[in-house]
Amino acid sequence: MDYLRVTLGAVPFASIDPEPFYVFQMPGTMELASVFRPHVKIHDGVIEEFSFGDNTFFAEPRHNLILFSGKEPNLRWECFADCIFHLCERFDVKQIFFVGSVAGLTPHSREPKFTASVSQPSLRARMERIGIRLSRYEGPAGFATYLTTRAAKADVDMYVLVAEIPAYLQGYNPRAVEAAVRCISGLLELHLTCDDLRTLSDEFERKVGELVQQQPELAARIQQLEEIYDNEIFDTELSDLKNWLHQRGIRLD
């Protein structure tokens, strides 16, 4: 989201007050409490920044686009969703794209795979046309999923796109960021080149590869993940090729 905001020159124009929606102090260990507490920056004893967290909307008129960067609310999900859909109604927003990630079995040396869920059945074909798998997840739901259940009632088409990233890596992942930006750029016809992100991705893969080679057991596990990933992609593409040939009267079996 930061990349899109900076690259497109989007400017902030609205925000959601964090006070009603977040738990700022959680009883327990400092490790647990620190996840919920506001962020502060102190320089030479003077507080320079104090933030409860931002939920900010950015406008980009050239592409008729609104970007939203925020944090999943701890409390009052229905009211938080009302804030978002009120803005959608005011500015005649007809589509929402949420982009996130989940730890999975995709190796760092391969492109993250996306799965999608949508607000109504008629939207599934769009995801299938661009090769994004439809989710079959069952388990604890996040706020984006709740928004999706509300979208159809608000006359808004909503797509939740989730990238699978390596479970063995923590923190910022340039390859996942690049994949997400390219995906959104294609869906919204933004025509972003993302060459700078590709450079970061290549450097990221190189550095991780060097570290992995220092741990033979991990390297062997990652090689297995690469084989599984490649076989799955090959089987999918081969299946598509078979179908295409069969439609033209040519059979491989």
pLDDT tens digits for range 153-168: 999 999 999 998 888 8
pLDDT score at 252 = 47
pLDDT score at 243 = 57
- Look up the pTM and report it: 0.82
Per-residue pLDDT of the chain (253 residues; tens, 9 = 90+): 999 999 999 999 999 999 999 998 888 888 888 888 888 999 999 999 998 888 999 999 999 999 999 999 999 999 999 999 999 999 999 999 999 998 888 888 888 889 999 999 999 999 998 889 999 988 999 999 999 999 989 999 999 999 988 888 888 888 899 999 999 999 999 989 889 999 999 998 899 889 888 988 888 888 888 888 888 765 555 455 455 455 555 554 5
Paired residues of 31 in beta bridges: none
* DSSP output for the chain: -HHHHHHHT-EEEEE--STTT-----SS-HHHHHHHSPEEEEETTEEEEEES---EEEEEGGGTEEEEE----SS-HHHHHHHHHHHHHHTT--EEEEEEEEEES--TTSPPEEEEEESSGGGHHHHHHTTPEEP---S---HHHHHHHHHGGGT-EEEEEEEEEETT--S--HHHHHHHHHHHHHHHT-----HHHHHHHHHHHHHHHHHHHT-HHHHHHHHHHHHHHHHHHHHHHHHHHHHHHHHTT----
The CA-based angle 23-28-29, given to 5 degrees, is 115
pLDDT score at 10 = 96
Residue 55 in tokens: 């939920």
Q: How far is CA 240 from CA 131, 151, 233, in A?
A: 11, 33, 11
151, burial (CB in 10 Å: exposed 0-12, middle 13-18, buried 19+) = buried
Q: In angstroms, rounded to a whole number, what is the distance separating the alpha carbons of residues 118 and 141?
A: 14
What is the per-residue pLDDT across 81-92, written as a single tens digit (0 to 9) for each? Answer: 999 999 999 999
Residue 105 in tokens: 């079995």
Residue 27 in tokens: 């009883």
Instruction: Sketch out the chain's domains with CATH numbers.
Output: 2-18+54-214 (3.40.50.10900), 215-253 (no CATH)
Q: Radius of gyration (Cα) for the chain, nearest Å? A: 21
